[in-house]
Chains A and B, each alone.
Chain A
Amino acid sequence: MRAESRSGLLLSAPYTAFLLLFALFPIGFSVVLVLLKWDLVTPPSFAGLDNLQHLVADARFWQAIVNTFVFLAIHLPLQVIVALALAWSLNRPLLLRSFWRAAFFLPVVISGAAVTILWSALYATDVGLINGVLARLDLGPVPWLTDPAIAMPAIAVMATWKNVGFYVVIYLAGLQNVPQSCHEAIELEGATGWQSFRHVTLPLLKPQTLLVVTLSTINGFQLFIEPYVLTGGGPLRRTLSVVLYMYRNAFSYQKMGYAATLGLALALVIAVVLVLQRRVIGSAEES
């Protein structure tokens, strides 16, 4: 038993070390940093509660929080609906089904920066592909990334396209676990295809939906590369995300203490939102 215990410790040691170094140590260190002023190159100095006071009064931070919720409000439902629709389509008999499955997953494995640069060309006001199509229809041009009201929805659409493949896989797995007998039973009762989907498939996919919503929320709060490359946080700060602002403070302004404060605040917000989500979706599940 003792030898077994030693083996267990030994086998878990690499991951424990990894966890300590790359998760627990950063968390602990970031908590310490909240109380410090540190620019990376000179010794840190004690800042007391300055970073927290600054956070409370920082209009950019609150704007970034609002922006992130706007993003999530568009991105989350879009992600769930599109992922589910695609999964449902790909789960049916389809010519070149494997190809389509791989094709929709491809954006997930492409570098985020590359995808974003590609979309910047699509969204370009003057020579972008989208506005080119609109021009043929005598529409536009639409300032996708330079209109304060449109920029964040445009980014949300792009982020959805980038990530949807991953969630399609989750839903596909769920769909393949829905017993065929349930569909057959409800169809025998005279239900339409939509009714079968609404009353059988959808409820049975609730665990997957919960996972998709949770992961999308966490990913959504970490929105960074898209506004970093496409808009730089503009126009009028409407696409400034918390992580982009945290990045600026850490690596453009070398304000590591304040960046850590932003990181902790973001973690707190994510935690609260996740708890609320689980309560809402969980209670729906129970009901």
Chain B
Amino acid sequence: MQDWAAKVPLIGAVVGSAVTPAALMVLGCGQGPPPVAVPSWAKPIELRLDHLRHLGFDVTVAGRPARAVALYAEAPDYRPIGSPARDGFEGLAAVDDAARAAVVYLRHFEQTADPRSKQEALGLLTFVTAMEQGDGEFLNFIHTDGTPNRAAPTSRKSFSYWAARALWAMGEAVRVLGPDDPDVDAVRPVLDRTLSRLRRDVDRGHLVGGSATATAEALLGLLSVQQVEPTVERADLAGRTADLLVPLAQGDADTPPWGARVDPAEGVWHAWGARSTQALALAGRVLARPDLVTAAQREGDQLWVRFLLAGEVPAAVSADGSTTPFPQIAYGVSPVVEGYLALAEATEEPRYAVLAGLVAAWLLGANRPGITMYDSATGRTFDGLGGPSAEQVNRNSGAESTIEALLALGAVATHPEATVYLGYRPVGPIVSSLADAPAEREFAGPEDGRVTVSRRGATFAVQERAGASTIELKYWPAANPMEVDLARQLADVWNARHPDIQVRIQPIPAGRSSEEVLLAAVVGNATPDICSNVSSGLLGRLVRAGAVVRLDGLAATAARLGERTSEPMLEPMRLPDGGIYAMPWKTNPMMLMYNVDHLAEAGVEPPGTYSELIEALRRLVRDTDGDERLDRWGFWARLKTTWFERFYDFYPLYLAASEGRTLVSQGEVVFENEAAVAAIEVLRQAFAERLLPRSNFEGRDPFMDGTVAMKVVGPWFVKELEELKIPGLRYDVTPVPVPDGNDPEAAYAFADLKNIAVFSTTRHPAAAARFVAFLTSPEADRLMIEEIAQLPYRRALATDQRFADALTRWPTLQAYAARTDRGRDIDVDPDIVEVFDILSEAYEAAAIYGVVSPEQAVRDAAGEARAVLRAR
């Protein structure tokens, strides 16, 4: 008994070894992370298409059922109506509006994958194409019964404004839906004829309809097609169209009209439809012509900067610089906003985006009467300001105002550097004369934020102060040297640009895993503001603990999510409440990497199916030194059962076979299926035939030294491989094999995502969100590709020209980039690690040791996993 008592402390230590850390941490547990308060100004702008849909109606045009948009809606009931008597009863709807509305819907579909928006866009495109007259020219208006108005001057068959907008809408359809989409086929003949008609004008050196506005909109459509379907001919046509716009600029930094591009016939710059800056900037980027970007900057840097210095965008500017301040309409603000955003993208200078946000603020009240022109509750936009007082607000809400506001706000909402300035207002009196505009103007934002825009010769400067005192953010990147170095480089750039928001880097503290360190930090309320090494497996727990901030609820990160991803890419990241709680930062889509020479020597092609894989393995196993022991293999499947080992064999095979179905969805087990059985079976067969080594290859990578000819791996491996491979090893990648009869190219890849989270302990959620948006900007993404050979989780990465050069920096990266859109990660579920462990043991029993059948293994694992999910 005495001995037993003597052992109590010892046994206590045994028991305590598991719980002491927990016991100590419990002292801080009761409080949990304090809930972060996101101020209303830091929330994203809500885009509502309700009013635009309200204006839509079904109509039959040229015998085809289509959709159109009514021209007007008058307050207070906002009933859709057509052209009034003052305009000569032109009709109920027009190509002019329908085409631009189609652009709104297409962009909305691009962001949200909302099928309603696609249907609306296709219906409107049917109307638009039905108004084409067989030669690329268009009618504009229709009457209530759908018959075209051929008589009105604003509707006659011509190649003018409405044809240009039709071209814009068709081009956007090709870009957004993709050139191979069957719905695009219906548009294609009209698009081709319209482009031919445009070529006729351009060949003769004519502006479309004699107008910079129409020419710019036609050019936007052409460039949309060129982005996804590049041809030399189209590039040439686009270049020559852009060249027509360049010489229209008049004046210079000190001479009115300060670089304004004016229609030759009118000699006046008008705000409405002034999209030539946007078109030139986009042309410069798409056609790789810096001269066009410089041309675009001329109007944006000089005339438009004077607008900001004066405090508002006037309705018109004469050649002598005098202005017509009113009416101010959304159609006048939207082109300036999108023009600045196009410049921001073409130059990668955030200062343009800042100006875009400041101009777009007009829609939210940064105007003389302080009226909120866009109503986020209904999606209506007032038709305009007739003068400086509230009484002069036109509270009707027609199609054009609604569409243009949605275009502008939709664009700003996907630019983090712009969207955060929607709440800013000009300080000081508005100046009507651009010549007398001050050299500097301050804009005041929430929480004492200030932005100062100042003229600097032919260009301008933007300075920002986020608040009364300097904000300091703590950022934890992963502790590996490559990522720490990347983080330091990015933080240096950020800190230089934002002296008022300084970021301090600290690699994730040492621990068994970053997951454990972060959980310990959560328990101890010692989390950083931002961490960029949050796995999807951990995310579910962090959300359950209320430890991270919802990022689609913050303007800057919501904008980046919109700019960078699509709804299908985000859908697996959504938590049950629909929220996105981490920015999917980088992806390592798994592919089958193979030794080119070993496969050639064995006379096999890179395997695409399971049969081909088994056959390749049979041919690749060798005894190269004649000692009667196999020493070269086709593939190595790891023997350990730790959950993440399955990232390199079973799980990629399963995802490729399951059409993207994962393990757990909405709290239900979804892996009890044929794909899981097939993925285990193919590896079981390989082990049973002794085609796979039963070795852990401790301390070395058998692909690098030529021992195995194939491995499933992501692009992160490429940099390491280049540094450590045996001399002369040549390699390439191919999609992971799929069951016989499936198409490997269409299969999903394991995405292996790493995410960035903002922790609830931050005192500066808006500033943290801005830094996260910067970490995921095109500039930062490009650096990531170049420095660490990893890929941003970004839509259409492989075809995005901004990353083309970076992707050539490392071998095979382009092939990997092509898989980023079809990636699936591990499920964002709090119990996913345990589910993986269970499945990994089942895999081991069936595939490696063959002690149970694959069917039985999957069935048993599913049963166990269900019990785990039920118990929580």
- The proximity string for A residues 34-71 relative to B, scoring 1 for CB distances below 8 Å and 0 otherwise, is 00001111111000001000100000000000000000
| Cβ A222 vs Cβ B17 within 8 A | yes
How close is B597's CB to chain A, nearest CB, in angstroms? 21
Q: Which of B20, B32, B541, B845 contacts A43 (CB 8 A)?
A: B32
Q: Is the CB of B642 within 8 A of A232?
A: yes
Is there an interface contact between B18 and A271, defined as CB atoms closer than 8 Å? no
Name B18's contact: one of A247, A275, A278 (CB within 8 Å): A247
Q: A27–B15 contact, CB under 8 A?
A: yes
User: For residues 694 through 725 of chain B, which have their beta carbon under 8 Å from a beta carbon of chain A?
Assistant: 694-700
Residues of the A chain whose Cβ atoms lie less than 8 Å from the Cβ of B841:
234, 237
Interface string of B845-857 (1 = CB under 8 A from A): 1001101000000
Q: Is A33 an interface residue (CB 8 A)?
A: yes
B19 touching A270, Cβ below 8 Å:
no
Q: Does A26 contact B (CB under 8 A)?
A: yes
Contact flag A23-B12 (CB < 8 Å), given A41-B547, A253-B831: yes
A126 close to B834 (CB less than 8 A): no
CA–CA, A54 and B693, complex, Å: 37
What 0/1 pattern do residues 3 to 33 of A give for CB contact below 8 A with B? 0000000000000000100111111011001
Which of chain B's residues has its CB closest to A148's CB?
B849
Q: How many residues of B contact A (CB 8 A)?
A: 61
Contact of B14 among A25, A221, A237 (CB under 8 A): A221
Max count, chain A CB within 10 A of own CB: residue among B9, B22, B629, B834: B22
A170 CB, nearest partner CB in chain B, Å: 16
Known contacts being A41-B522, A254-B519, is A26 close to B16, with CB within 8 Å? yes
Does A248 have its Cβ within 8 Å of any Cβ on chain B? yes
CB contacts (< 8 Å) of A143 on chain B: these are 694-695
Nearest-neighbor residue (CB-CB) of A282 within chain B: B3
Q: Which chain B positions have C-beta within 8 A of A39? A: 541, 544-545, 830
- A residues in contact with B642, CB < 8 Å: 232
Asked if A126 contacts B695 (CB within 8 A), the reply is yes
Residues of A close to B544: CB separation below 8 A: 39, 41-42
Contact assessment for A263 and B14 in the assembled complex, using a CB-CB cutoff below 8 Å: yes
In the complex, which residue of chain A has the Cβ closest to the Cβ of B645? A232
Scan A258-271; emit 1 where CB is below 8 A from any B CB, else 0. Answer: 01101110110011
Contacts of A33 in B (CB 8 A): 19, 22
The number of chain A residues with a CB under 8 A from chain B is 63
Q: Which residue of B lies closest to A255 (CB)?
A: B834
Does B833 lie within 8 Å of A222, measured CB to CB?
no
A146 is an interface residue with CB less than 8 A from chain B: yes
Q: A39-B541, A41-B545, A253-B834 are in contact. Are A30 and B15 (CB under 8 A)?
A: yes
User: Which of A82-90, A117-125, A185-193 has 4 or more CB atoms under 8 Å from chain B?
Assistant: A117-125
Nearest CB in chain A to that of B3: its residue: A278
Of chain A, the residue at the smallest CB distance from B836 is: A252
Q: Is B523 an interface residue (CB 8 A)?
A: yes
Does any Cβ of B come within 8 Å of A174's Cβ? Answer: no
Which of A50, A235, A271 contacts B844, CB < 8 Å?
A235
Q: How far is the CA of A43 from the CA of B14 in the complex (A)?
A: 25
Across the interface, do B516 and A267 meet the contact criterion of CB distance under 8 Å?
no
* Residues 11-52 of B at the A interface (beta carbon under 8 Å): 11-20, 22-23, 25-26, 29-30, 32
Cα distance A132–B494 in the bound complex, in angstroms: 55
In the assembly, what is the distance between CA of A42 and CA of B845, in Å?
A: 35
Q: Given A42-B32, A271-B11, A274-B7, is A30 in contact with B696 using a C-beta cutoff of 8 Å?
A: no
Complex CA distance for A274 and B3, rounded to whole angstroms? 10
B871 within 8 A of A: yes
Contact indicator A124/B696 (Cβ below 8 Å):
yes
Q: Which residue of A lies closest to B844 (CB)?
A: A234
Q: A40-B29, A148-B849 are in contact. List 11 more A-B contacts (CB 8 A).
A: A29-B19, A29-B22, A30-B23, A42-B32, A146-B639, A146-B695, A250-B18, A250-B19, A253-B831, A266-B14, A271-B4
A sample of 7 cross-chain residue pairs with beta-carbon separation below 8 angstroms, ordered by A number, consists of A26-B23, A54-B871, A125-B695, A125-B696, A253-B833, A253-B834, A263-B19
Q: Which 4 A-B pairs have the closest CB atoms?
A: A26-B16, A41-B545, A23-B12, A125-B695
Binding site for A on B (CB under 8 A): 3-4, 7, 9-20, 22-23, 25-26, 29-30, 32, 512, 516, 519, 522-523, 541-542, 544-547, 629, 631, 639-643, 645, 693-700, 830-831, 833-834, 837, 841, 844-845, 848-849, 851, 871
Q: Which residues of A contact B (CB under 8 A)?
A: 19, 22-27, 29-30, 33, 38-44, 50, 54, 120-121, 124-128, 141, 143, 145-146, 148, 218, 221-222, 231-237, 243, 246-248, 250-254, 256, 259-260, 262-264, 266-267, 270-271, 274-275, 278
